[in-house]
Amino acid sequence: MTPTELTRPPLRANEAESLIAFLDYHRDYLRRKSEGLTQEQLAQPLAPSTMTLAGLLKHLALVEDHWFSEVLMGNEEAEIWQPIDWDADPDWEWRTAADDSPGTLRALFDSTVETSDRCIQQALDEGGLDRLSHRESRRPGNGHFSLRWILLHMIEEYAQHNGHADLIRESVDGVTGE
């Protein structure tokens, strides 16, 4: 597999293009941080934390589906997540990622991102960045999320997890940097 290339977000672009470019940058950053490793390496935590690179890939796939498909568009969650009893097993995606091959994890991640991109495009066409989410916040009285909020939240969600990925990857095989 050719390593994923990072594309720097354009220095001058409108709001929607800028946010999507930063989101794509961080999706690619996670791809890079998890590339070229074996299943065992992807399942290796950096103690005392229990997070792994495999868990990060599966967690971010879940988060993509949750925010862009369920919350933004009001879709059912994707098939893979439906049988899970989240109350009984709240860390399911982290726990089970160790049993998945690198290829399986990457395919799940890539297909979820593709679906998200279709959701984002549809929402943008319907109402731009001010378009409100189909679902409301679980916090009473908070109302609906703007697409703008969801995109920024996903950028910071990815970036923070990519910070975890930096230190975990360095501990696995010494690789650092962007």
Q: How far is the CB of 48 from other proteins (least distance, A)?
A: 6
Distances (CA, A) of 163 to 51, 80, 83, 156, 160: 12, 27, 31, 10, 5
Q: Is the bond preceding residue 48 a cis peptide, omega within 30 degrees?
A: yes
- Using CA atoms, how far apart are residues 73 and 64, in angstroms rounded to an integer? 12
- Among 74-82, 99-107, 108-116, 159-167, which window interacts with other proteins (CB under 8 A)? 159-167
* Cβ closest to other proteins, residue 46 vs residue 80: 46
Rule CB under 8 A: say whether 146 interacts with other proteins: yes
Decide if residue 141 touches other proteins (CB under 8 A): no
- For other proteins, which is the closer residue by CB, 113 or 155? 155
3-class DSSP state of 170: helix
Whether the CB-CB separation of 77 and 69 falls below 8 Å is answered with: yes
Are 32 and 4 within 8 A, CB to CB? yes
Between residues 30 and 119, which has the closer beta carbon with respect to other proteins?
Answer: 30
In the shown chain, the binding pattern of residues 14 to 53 toward other proteins, with x for contact by CB under 8 A and - for none, equals -x--xx--x--xx-------------------xxxx-x--
Contact present, 61 and 109 (Cβ < 8 Å): yes
158 within 8 A of 23, measured Cβ to Cβ:
yes
148 binds other proteins (CB under 8 A): yes
- Residue 53 CB, shortest distance to other proteins, in Å, is 13
Give the binding site for other proteins (CB under 8 A).
9-13, 15, 18-19, 22, 25-26, 46-49, 51, 129-130, 132, 137, 142-146, 148-149, 152-153, 155-168, 170-171, 174, 176
